[in-house]
């Protein structure tokens, strides 16, 4: 695929962002990012894929900000190499954020994209076909249902979800997918500590160690993210996740004795 000078210039920032994380995008991957961008712009005109309509916003808020999930923050926090050969799932992926970005950047990553809206999953199937991606599963469904299925329950090394709910609700929608020893990674806007404390009892009940929260401000020029990490240390009780809608209506929040 040949790029115009302008396209080549703006794509260079995506390449540089990936390099900052230790990921070198080859010509094929760069072409995949470019085509993905074109498909997002094209299909967003037909139905609401994302609120970001310009290439500048797509590049910064969707592409580069999604790469932060791969940020090498040190210690037990995953680096790009840590993801190699892992099985991951993106809950409530929407237009493929961040799961599709992770898959293009790390082709060996076995990725499942889950969304409840058929138009979005149909779009993702189109993207997968156009980009000739393998090792990618796209599912139209609800986390509450899929999280109870044998082929998906406690089968993933990495579980991600971006901006789909508060942490107390996300805990029940994500943790049941992680195998013991797996990690749930949740990018959130800054100032997440109240949510972390609110969700602490739920995370413990569902089988994780206390959350690790790290500020990640690179790559890109978007505001810093608070990256929330939950490490799965014990199996999740069969009761969870509960039926569709219940985690949203009645999240697992510890009530005080006088309530």
- In this structure, which topology does domain 5-238 adopt according to CATH? Rossmann fold (3.40.50)
Ligand-binding annotation for 144, yes or no, is yes
DSSP state of 11: H
**Phi then psi dihedrals of residue 113, to 5 deg:** -110, 125
pLDDT in tens, 131-170: 999 999 999 999 999 999 999 999 999 999 997 789 999 9
Structure tokens at 170: 């996300």
Please give the span between the terminal C-alpha atoms of the chain, in angstroms, as a whole number.
62
pLDDT at 1: 44
pLDDT in tens, 177-224: 999 999 999 999 999 999 999 999 999 999 999 999 999 999 999 999
User: What is the average pLDDT across 21-34?
Assistant: 94
Structure tokens at 112: 């499942």
Ligand-binding annotation for 142, yes or no, is no
The whole-angstrom separation of Cα 21 and Cα 130 is 26
DSSP H or E segment with residue 246: helix 246-249
Is cis: bond before 219, omega within 30 of 0?
Answer: yes
The stretches of the chain forming alpha helices (DSSP H) are 5-20, 27-44, 55-57, 65-67, 99-105, 118-131, 143-146, 167-174, 193-206, 246-249
Ligand-binding annotation for 143, yes or no, is yes
pLDDT at 2: 46
When the pLDDT of each residue in the chain is averaged and rounded to a whole number, the result is 90
pLDDT in tens, 212-252: 999 999 999 999 999 999 999 999 999 999 999 999 999 99
Residue 259 has pLDDT above 80, yes or no: no
The whole-angstrom separation of Cα 69 and Cα 92 is 16
pLDDT: which is higher, 258 or 125: 125
Residue 69 has pLDDT above 60, yes or no: yes
Q: Where are the domains of the chain?
A: 5-238
pLDDT at 188: 94
Cβ atoms < 10 Å from Cβ of 97:
27
In angstroms, the Cα distances linking 99 to 9, 107, 233, 258 are 24, 11, 24, 42
């Amino acid at each position: 695929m040949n790029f115009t000078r302008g396209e080549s210039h703006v794509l260079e920032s995506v390449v540089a962002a990936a390099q900052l994380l230790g990921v070198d995008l080859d010509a094929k991957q760069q072409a995949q990012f470019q085509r993905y961008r074109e498909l997002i712009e094209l299909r967003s005109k037909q139905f609401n894929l994302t609120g970001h309509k310009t290439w500048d916003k797509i590049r910064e808020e969707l592409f580069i900000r999604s790469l932060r999930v791969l940020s090498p923050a040190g210690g037990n926090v995953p680096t790009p190499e840590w993801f190699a050969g892992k099985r991951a799932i993106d809950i409530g992926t929407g237009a493929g954020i961040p799961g599709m970005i992770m898959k293009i950047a790390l082709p060996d990553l076995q990725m499942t994209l889950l969304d409840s809206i058929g138009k979005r999953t149909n779009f993702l199937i189109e993207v997968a076909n156009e980009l000739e991606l393998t090792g990618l599963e796209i599912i139209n469904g609800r986390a509450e249902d899929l999280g109870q299925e044998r082929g998906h329950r406690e089968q993933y090394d990495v579980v991600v979800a971006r901006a789909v709910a508060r942490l107390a609700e996300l805990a029940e929608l994500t943790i049941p997918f992680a195998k013991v020893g797996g990690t749930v990674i949740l990018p959130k806007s800054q100032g997440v500590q109240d949510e972390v404390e609110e969700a602490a009892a739920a995370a413990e009940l569902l089988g994780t160690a206390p959350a690790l929260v790290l500020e990640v401000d690179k790559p890109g020029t978007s505001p810093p993210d608070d990256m929330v990490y939950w490490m799965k240390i014990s199996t999740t009780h069969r009761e969870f996740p509960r039926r569709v809608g219940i985690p949203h209506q009645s999240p697992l929040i510890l009530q005080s004795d006088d309530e």
